[in-house]
Amino acid sequence: MVRTRKAPADRRAQILQATFDLVTQQGYQSVSMRDVAARCGISKAAIYVYFPTKEALYNTVIQNALALRLQLIEAALTPDLPVYEQLFNVLHAVFHLTAYKSESMTSLIELSHVYAEADLAAHKLAIVQMLTDIIATGEQQGGIQLPVQLASASDAAHLLIDAATGVAGTLDMHTDAPVDQQLRQKLSQLTSTFLCGWQSGTGHHR
């Protein structure tokens, strides 16, 4: 095995990337520390210099991946746009990433449930908070009047993300229509329906 010297920060980053690649390609249950070492061209013992346990390695992989995903979603925030477009943009960013990286996202979520449940929950809450802030601003500006059955902007955000999750689950991966085109159409209809109900203050959504 040919070994190359790397700066500690570079070696650590290489180990994390190799682990992420292997997990998303093979599933976390099929990946061993020996596999990661072989991918990096180092000994298994060298990995433990940077990560004392496999759990510590996986936790860091998950935290980094979720942080990057959140940055991409936050980049979709455009406060100057109307509320409808802001809500649509955030939801589209969330589910666009899921649809186009479905296998890797599935592997990451499975890994998160095993090794970093709290990190996954915090990630979801951060997305809900983005939607909550948009809805609350819409209320303050008079563009949204929530139905009486929704006690707060947070309730509305949870309802919207749950509905959007259901909509994203209906995408047809085997049709000629591009996935993103389907996603845009479905989320646009969903957001418009919710906002219409919220503007009237009488909508009832499940």
Name the residue ranges covered by the structural domains of the chain: 8-52, 62-200
- What is the pLDDT, as a whole number, of residue 27? 84
Summarize the confidence of residues 37-46 as an average pLDDT.
Answer: 95
- Is the pLDDT assigned to residue 4 strictly greater than 70? no
Query: pLDDT tens digit string along 42-100?
Result: 999 999 999 999 999 999 999 998 898 899 899 999 889 999 999 999 999 888 876 65
Establish how many alpha carbons lie within 13 A of residue 163's alpha carbon, considering only the half-sphere containing its beta carbon: 20
Q: How far apart are CA 141 and CA 56, in angstroms?
A: 46
- Is the pLDDT assigned to residue 205 strictly greater than 50? no
- What is the pLDDT, as a whole number, of residue 166? 86
Q: Model's pTM, two decimal places?
A: 0.81
Asked if 186 contacts 166 with a C-beta cutoff of 8 angstroms, the reply is no
Judge if 8-52 and 62-200 fold alike in CATH terms.
no
Query: pLDDT tens digit string along 105-158?
Result: 677 778 888 888 899 899 999 999 999 999 999 999 888 999 888 889 999 999
178 vs 65: which has the higher pLDDT:
65
Distances (CA, A) of 123 to 13, 197, 202: 22, 28, 31
Say which residues have a Cβ less than 8 Å from residue 69's Cβ, sequence separation at least 6.
Answer: 97, 123
At 2, the pLDDT band (50, 70, 90 cuts) reads: low
Alpha helices in 169-203 (DSSP H): 179-200
- Is the pLDDT assigned to residue 168 strictly greater than 60? yes
Give the domain 62-200 fold. Tetracycline Repressor; domain 2 (1.10.357)
Q: How far apart are the first and last CA of the chain?
A: 58
Give the domain 8-52 fold. Arc Repressor Mutant, subunit A (1.10.10)
- Is the pLDDT assigned to residue 204 strictly greater than 50? no
What token pair was written down for 146? 């929530």
Q: Under DSSP, is residue 149 helix (H, G, I), strand (E, B) or coil?
A: coil
Summarize the confidence of residues 181-194 as an average pLDDT.
Answer: 90
